[in-house]
C-alpha cells in the first residue's frame, strides 16, 4: 500500500522546497497532498526563489505557481504516514494558524515521520515540539531553535540531521539528504 504524505506550504513558499519534494515523492509512488491555510483544492500559492548572489543573505525572486491539491479544511492528519514542511517566506506566517500547529503536534504525538527544511523549522518552534531535539535549519533560524529548547547544528546546506521521527536540512541543496532520510523514516526502500 502506498504511503501518504502531507506537504505543508503557503504563499511564497520557497520554490524548490515545495516543487522538488512534491515531485520526488510522487515519482516513487508516495501520494502527496499539498495544503496551505485558507486554500482549497485547485487553488495555487505563489512561490519565491531564494538564492545567494553575494549579499549577506539570500535574494528573493518570484517563482512559479504551486498547485494545492487538497482543501485545508478537509485534512485529517490520521490519514497520513508523514508530514513534510517546506521553507521560505510562508513558514513565518502559517505558523500563526492554530490548525497548522495542531496538525504538526499530531505528527509528533503519534511519532510519525516529519521532515522540515530551511525556514520550515519556524513552524516546529511555534508548535513547541523541539525540546531536547537536535536539528538544523537555515542559519538565521538557529536562535529560534535554541529558544524553543532544541539543539541547533550548523551543518553544510547539502546535509540533513535525523533525531527520532524528525529529519531537517538547512536549505534546498539538502534535498537528496533530507529525502533519503525521510524515506527511511517512512520505511521505504528503493532498490536500483
Please tell me the distance from the alpha carbon of residue 134 to that of residue 100, in angstroms, as a whole number: 22
Does residue 18 have a pLDDT over 70?
A: yes
* Residue 44 pLDDT class (50, 70, 90 cuts): very high
Report the pLDDT value the prediction gives residue 56, as an integer from 0 to 100. 67
Domains of the chain (ranges; CATH) run 4-186 (3.40.50.880)
Does residue 57 have a pLDDT over 70?
A: no
Q: Which helix (H) or strand (E) holds 176?
A: helix 175-185
- DSSP class of residue 54 equals S
Q: Which of 126, 49, 51 is nearest to 85 (CA)?
A: 126
Report the pLDDT value the prediction gives residue 51, as an integer from 0 to 100. 75
What is the value of pTM for the model shown? 0.95
Q: Which of 119, 166, 114, 168 is nearest to 143 (CA)?
A: 119
SS3 percent helix, strand, coil of the chain, rounded to 5, is 35, 25, 40
128: left (phi over 0), alpha (psi -120 to 50) or beta: left
Q: Which of 106, 107, 109, 116 is nearest to 82 (CA)?
A: 107
Does residue 4 have a pLDDT over 90?
A: yes
50 catalytically annotated: no
| Catalytic-role residue among 64, 106, 119, 175 | 119
Amino acid at each position: 500500500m502506498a504511503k501518504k504524505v502531507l506537504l505543508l506550504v503557503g504563499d511564497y513558499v520557497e520554490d524548490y522546497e515545495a516543487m522538488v519534494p512534491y515531485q520526488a515523492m510522487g515519482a516513487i509512488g508516495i501520494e502527496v497532498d499539498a495544503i496551505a491555510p485558507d486554500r482549497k483544492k485547485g487553488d495555487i500559492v505563489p512561490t519565491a526563489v531564494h538564492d545567494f548572489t553575494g549579499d549577506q543573505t539570500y535574494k528573493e525572486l518570484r517563482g512559479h505557481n504551486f498547485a494545492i491539491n487538497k482543501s485545508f479544511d478537509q485534512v485529517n492528519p490520521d490519514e497520513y504516514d508523514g508530514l513534510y514542511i517546506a521553507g521560505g517566506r510562508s513558514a513565518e506566517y502559517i505558523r500563526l494558524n492554530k490548525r497548522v500547529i495542531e496538525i504538526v503536534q499530531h505528527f509528533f504525538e503519534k511519532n510519525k515521520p516529519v521532515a522540515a527544511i530551511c525556514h520550515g523549522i519556524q513552524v516546529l518552534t511555534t508548535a513547541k515540539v523541539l525540546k531536547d531535539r537536535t536539528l538544523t535549519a537555515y542559519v538565521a533560524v538557529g536562535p529560534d531553535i535554541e529558544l524553543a529548547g532544541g539543539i541547533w547544528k550548523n551543518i553544510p546546506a547539502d546535509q540533513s540531521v535525523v533525531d527520532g521521527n524528525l529529519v531537517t536540512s538547512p536549505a534546498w541543496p539538502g534535498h537528496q539528504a533530507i529525502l533519503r532520510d525521510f524515506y527511511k523514516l517512512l520505511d521505504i526502500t528503493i532498490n536500483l
